[in-house]
Amino acid sequence: MANLIELRNIFKIYGEGLESEVRALDGVSLTIRQGEFVAIVGQSGSGKSTMMNVLGCLDIPTRGDYLLAGTDVRELTDKELSRIRNKEIGFIFQQYNLIQTLTVLENVELPLIYQGIKADDRYELALEALDRVGLSKRVKHKPTEMSGGQQQRVAIARAIATKPPIIMADEPTGALDSRTGHEVLEFLQQLNREGTTVILITHDNGIAATARRCVRLTDGKIVEDKEQEVDWF
């Protein structure tokens, strides 16, 4: 598999040079190959959220190189970074981040609108994504009319509607019961089997154990990076 993501000696420093400076990432180097399923695990304050922000082009490192499919992210314009976030990476968050005043279908169509896709085409793509997560009959509902598990499935549909090569999931089961959380993880596994690169951010060792590879962070440093045997695959 080709290298998709390369972090080379990445630092993310807040208050650099001050006595109170915080090194959220402290010399991190990491390579993720195309088609991998990687869990990045760590407790609160470990740097995993900062790692997600850097990997997802939501934040730029203070120092170091980040190559995404061979492109140096630090050299990209804000417009180019926005295109990557919209087209190349699908985000799934713990709190769903749905717009409560929009219908399920309208929520899923949002990233497609940002891409400039025509109305008929984005309708079909959104409907296809909702069908994949079992919600094609709930397209006119509002998020407030749905359970937490259903809302998370809407968020997943929104993330996959653009067919991105990377899915980044930040604590995607954190607000769900164990059965629904298990279903979400199974769906991420299925996406990975189909060739999507999945990066799962979690504090939970049990959740991290569902990935083929586990990268553990402590105090902004990688302290473990190991391949794992996974029964689900």
Q: Tell me: the pLDDT tens digits for 105-161?
A: 999 999 999 888 999 999 999 999 999 999 999 999 999 999 999 999 999 999 999
What whole-number distance in Å separates Cα of residue 131 and Cα of residue 184?
15
Residue 232 has what pLDDT?
55
Collect all residues with Cβ–Cβ distance below 8 Å to 75 and sequence separation of at least 6.
none
Q: Say how far apart CA 79 and CA 35 lie, in whole Å.
A: 26
Cα separation of 148 and 161, whole Å? Answer: 20
Q: Are strands 37-41 and 213-218 parallel, antiparallel or unpaired?
A: parallel
Query: What is the residue whose two structure tokens read 């991998």?
Result: 36
Q: Are 175 and 148 in contact (CB under 8 A)?
A: yes
CA 90/CA 8 separation, integer angstroms: 23
Question: Residue 226 in contact with residue 208, Cβ under 8 Å?
Answer: no
Q: Tell me what the mean pLDDT of segment 89-98 comes to.
A: 90
Q: What are phi and psi of 157, to 5 degrees?
A: -60, -40
Which residues partner with 166 through β-bridges?
89, 197
Q: What is the pLDDT of residue 53?
A: 94
Residues sharing a CB contact under 8 Å with residue 60, sequence separation 6 or more, in sequence order: 54, 73, 74
**pLDDT at residue number 233:** 46
**Distance in angstroms (rounded) separating the CA atoms of residues 47 and 217:** 7
Give the confidence band of 231 by pLDDT, cuts at 50, 70, 90. Answer: low
How far apart are alpha carbons 125 and 144 in whole angstroms? 23
Q: What is the pLDDT of residue 9?
A: 97
Task: Read off the pLDDT of residues 8-59 as tens digits, 9 standing for 90 and up.
Answer: 999 999 998 888 899 999 999 999 999 999 999 999 999 999 999 999 999 9
Amino acid code (one letter) for 5: I
Q: CA-CA distance, 25 to 43, in Å (whole number)?
A: 14
Q: Quote the pTM value.
A: 0.92
In the chain, where do the E strands start and end? 3-14, 22-33, 37-41, 63-68, 71-72, 89-93, 166-170, 197-202, 213-218, 221-227
Q: Give 167-217 pLDDT, tens digit per residue.
A: 999 999 888 888 888 888 999 999 999 999 999 999 999 999 999 999 999
Please, which residues have CB within 8 angstroms of residue 142's CB and are 6 or more apart in sequence? 100, 101, 102, 103, 104
User: Which pLDDT score is estimated for 95?
Assistant: 86
Question: Which pLDDT score, from 0 to 100, does residue 48 have?
Answer: 94
